[in-house]
Amino acid sequence: MDSRLISFVATPSQGEVRALMLRPAGARALLVLAHGAGAGMEHPFMTRAAEGLATHGVATLRYQFPYAEAGRRRPDPPAVLEATVRSAVAAGAADAPDLPLVAGGKSMGGRMTSRAAAADAGLNTIGIVLVGFPLHGAGRPPGRERAAHLTEVPMPMLFLQGTRDALADLELMRGVEGELPRATLHVVEGADHGFHVVKRSGRTDAMVMDELTSVIARWIEELVSR
């Protein structure tokens, strides 16, 4: 297992950020993975996701957004976040030029990745993975405004959503996915936005993570095999 800390320039004004490369022997693809708004690349969810994907032959490059790298709590403006996504994908391509690239992220990280993919500059990846897409704010009336840009994403997308996610009404998510011809929605029964499950569900968070990483790896394998 190749595990390394690297760095790349997020934007000229923000400077360098760190990233963690985890590459298993015989890796078939690289997922460039962005963190959510409230936690950086070393959050337990990000670590477990990377380790789980490695068991399925998927390498990951987890990286920091500039605000997280600086220890700030408030996320950077969207333009900075999207530019960092593009820089991270470029860093992944440079570090693993032999692997097909997929980009994605948890919550805000996934949303900024899809926004970067939809922009004029785009992303040079074969697919986008959106783990807990934040369709609307918590405690706010459910809406689909945050999904408007998804019609401009040119590559296949995989959405993974929990049935108890307070940031994504499931029926609205089904409607969004149904209007995107290259999108796939995987529903995780009983999971909230952080993909936690209650004890009475009969499942554990570890079982949910196994489900997430298995589904992501299988979807990426299908992309690579096309």
Pairing relationship of beta strands 157-162 and 128-131 according to DSSP bridges: parallel
| Rounded distance between C-alpha atoms, residue 150 and residue 154, angstroms | 9
How many domains are there within the chain?
A: 1
Q: Long-range contact list for 205-212, CB < 8 A, 24+ apart? A: 206/48, 209/45, 209/48, 209/49, 209/52, 210/52, 212/49, 212/52, 212/131, 212/160, 212/188
Q: What is the mean pLDDT of the chain?
A: 96
Contact 103/52 with Cβ under 8 angstroms?
no
pLDDT at 226 over 90: no
Query: 4-47: per-residue pLDDT in tens?
Result: 999 999 999 999 999 999 999 999 999 999 999 989 999 999 99
| Rounded distance between C-alpha atoms, residue 63 and residue 151, angstroms | 26
Dihedral (CA of 165, 114, 214, 178) sign: positive
Tell me if the pTM is above 0.85: yes
Report residue 143's pLDDT band, with 50, 70 and 90 as the boundaries. Answer: confident
The CATH number of the domain holding residue 76 is: 3.40.50.1820
Token readout for 121 is 């500059």
**pLDDT on residue 30:** 98
Could you tell me the residue range of the domain that residue 172 belongs to? Answer: 2-137+144-225
